């Protein structure tokens, strides 16, 4: 397979790239600097490095980078600094999803391309009637007002749910919603749910970034896993 990964220099993206390379797949990454990814990945024979800011690419360049890709994975997110949360681009994750999907469509692929989005369990799947408590609704309302990255995560998944939908001939998608993230080097046991089993905001459950990357790699490379979770927003805990 050939997979394009954006957000490859982030804490989860780095793990995803390595999982895919270890499984023997060709990986293209768009990073501002090749030094931002691991030496293992940087020097791997199956990697193609594209040094650029993803939203600065022209439509033609974007289409070229997704050409012949079996999947596109986005681990993009906002840095948890004042500038990262309140500066531009406010719609990094959403605009990247929109432009990458448009690029895929412009190539008129012979078979559908997978789009795997790293999202957040704080975001609800509005295709389902997920139970949400009053306190959770209140907290989400505050997050929307105070933290632009939360709105970006919501709009990115909404773009996939509404604009791409369930029956697009060119793109199939899945939006992965992890609980609170921690750093661990090794993959540990994790569980996947259709919806959060506890309040995503008030629950203290954790999963590691490498677990999230491992599940995203499974979605991309394992047809059985993909068939189960495509068009959905699985929660990983």
Across 75-211, where does the E strand assignment appear?
A: 113-118, 171-178, 180-182, 192-193, 206-208
Domain boundaries, the chain: 2-236
Query: Is residue 53 exposed (0-12), middle (13-18) or buried (19+ Cβ within 10 Å)?
Result: exposed
Question: Could you report how far apart the first and last alpha carbons of the chain are, in Å?
Answer: 27
| Angle of CA points 73, 75, 81, to nearest 5° | 165
Helices 148-158 and 92-106: angle between axes, nearest 10 degrees: 20
Token pair in block for residue 84: 């990262």
pLDDT digits (tens, 9 = 90+) for 134-181: 565 555 555 655 565 678 889 999 999 999 999 999 999 999 999 989
CA 40 – CA 54 distance, rounded (Å)? 22
CA 164 to chain CA mean position, Å: 15
Q: List, in order, residues 6 or more apart from 58 with CB less than 8 Å away.
A: none
Token pair in block for residue 97: 């999803």
Average of per-residue pLDDT values in the chain: 88
CATH-assigned architecture of domain 2-236:
3-Layer(aba) Sandwich (3.40)
CA 60 to chain CA mean position, Å: 22
Given this model, what pLDDT does residue 84 score? 47
Mean pLDDT confidence for 211-217: 98
Specify whether the CB–CB gap between 137 and 196 falls below 8 A. no
Q: Is the pLDDT of residue 65 over 80?
A: yes
Helices vs. strands in the chain: H and E counts, helices first: 9, 10
Closest to 237 (Cα-Cα) out of 128, 75, 222, 204 = 204
CA 75 – CA 153 distance, rounded (Å)? 11
Token pair in block for residue 171: 């793109």
- N residues, the chain: 237
Given this model, what pLDDT does residue 209 score? 95
């Amino acid at each position: 397979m050939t997979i394009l990964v954006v957000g490859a220099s982030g804490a989860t993206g780095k793990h995803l790239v390595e999982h895919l390379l270890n499984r023997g797949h060709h990986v293209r990454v768009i990073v501002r600097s090749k030094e931002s990814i691991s030496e293992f990945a940087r020097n791997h024979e199956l990697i193609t490095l594209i040094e650029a800011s993803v939203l600065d690419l022209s439509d033609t360049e974007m289409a070229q980078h997704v050409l012949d890709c079996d999947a596109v994975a986005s681990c993009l997110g906002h840095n948890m600094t004042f500038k990262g949360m309140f500066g531009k681009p406010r719609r990094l994750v959403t605009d990247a999803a929109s432009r990458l999907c448009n690029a895929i469509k412009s190539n008129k692929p012979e078979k559908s391309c997978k789009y795997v989005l790293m999202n957040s369990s704080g975001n609800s799947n509005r295709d389902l009637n997920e139970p949400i408590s009053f306190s959770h609704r209140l907290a989400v309302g505050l997050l929307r007002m105070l933290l632009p990255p939360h709105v970006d995560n919501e709009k990115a998944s909404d773009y996939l749910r509404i604009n791409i939908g369930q029956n697009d001939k060119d793109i199939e998608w899945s939006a992965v919603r992890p609980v609170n993230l921690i750093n661990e080097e090794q993959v540990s046991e994790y569980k996947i749910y259709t919806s959060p089993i506890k309040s995503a905001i008030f629950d203290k459950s954790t999963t590691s970034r490498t677990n999230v990357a491992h599940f995203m790699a499974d979605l991309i490379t394992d047809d059985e896993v993909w068939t189960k979770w495509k068009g959905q927003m699985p929660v990983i805990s």
